[in-house]
Amino acid sequence: MPDLKELKVIDFHIHIGLKEHWHPWVHKYQKSAGSDLDERYDELTDPRHFADYLLSFGIKKAVILPEISPITTGIVSNEYVLEFCQGMDIYLPFCTVNPSMENNLSIKVKDSIKKGARGIKLYPSYNHFYPNDKTLYPIYELAQEHCLPVLVHTGSSIFKGSKIKYANPLHLDDVAADFPDCKILMAHGGRGLWYETAFFLSRLHPNLYLEISGLPPKNLLDYFPELEKNIDKVVYGSDWPGVKSVGINIEAIKNLPLAEASIQKILYKNAAGILGNAALLD
Ligand SMILES: [Zn+2]
């Protein structure tokens, strides 16, 4: 049996934030997930201590996400995320925009890139827009120009106010076709209604990836029975703090009945390829 203990990990989906950033129902959800954050709040909201926590599970790089979703979850600003990640190599801060609330989207994204953002996260179902809406195209243009990945929420969410029609991964068919050099990740792999669609699209488009955060790892092969056939496109993320511990999540991936090389691709190699220089590890 191969020794999987030493595997390097990139977590492509981590939320940070303080209690006051999120609505009470988000705390309630984190509590119900038994998240370590709940019990170790002071420690795990400190950038250095949180980095130690991630490193203890073999995580070498972590994508850190902001959110501007006042209807559904709350507001963790781009500025807060950039400051949290400041000076810490392990963190890859992403930026976000909410097209339902903001104008001048590309100016905002440009500004975040200038300040160190390494990718873009979009929340169509939380913010009520279609990700193939033309108003977003300048954002994809920027992402393509700067070789920054775009992580897009797909599939269900338990948070009230979210509208699932916006989260159909099929909308990303347009984006993937129109921006062939932009790497796009379907967060949560189309959770619920669209596992098959997301899987199919990730095979169809070379630049479209299946990101598996928020899915119980033990069910992964039920959702995607042919996972090995598209193993180069599968990317790990935890969706912390919506999980008890990032460690338990990683262990469950390692225990899947997949080849060691496949597990390495899911946990690390595919993400490293997407992040390019940002993931310089070796
Ligand atoms: Zn998330």
Q: What is the pTM of this model?
A: 0.95
How do residues 38-72 score in pLDDT, each as one tens digit?
889 999 999 999 999 999 999 999 999 999 999 99
Task: Using the mean position of ligand 1's atoms as its centre, give its distance from the Cα of residue 280 in Å.
Answer: 24
- Phi and psi at residue 174, to the nearest 5°: -60, -50
Task: Using the mean position of ligand 1's atoms as its centre, give its distance from the Cα of residue 1 in Å.
Answer: 33
Per-residue confidence (pLDDT) for residue 212, from 0 to 100: 98
Task: Using the mean position of ligand 1's atoms as its centre, give its distance from the Cα of residue 66 in Å.
Answer: 10
Residue 231's alpha-carbon distances to 22, 176, 225, 234, 239, in angstroms, are: 35, 19, 11, 6, 20
Whether residue 3 is predicted with pLDDT greater than 60 in this model: the reply is no
Q: What is the DSSP letter of 39?
A: H
Task: Using the mean position of ligand 1's atoms as its centre, give its distance from the Cα of residue 117 in Å.
Answer: 17
Task: Using the mean position of ligand 1's atoms as its centre, give its distance from the Cα of residue 169 in Å.
Answer: 16
Task: Using the mean position of ligand 1's atoms as its centre, give its distance from the Cα of residue 17 in Å.
Answer: 12
At residue 1 the predicted structure's pLDDT band, cuts being 50, 70 and 90, is very low
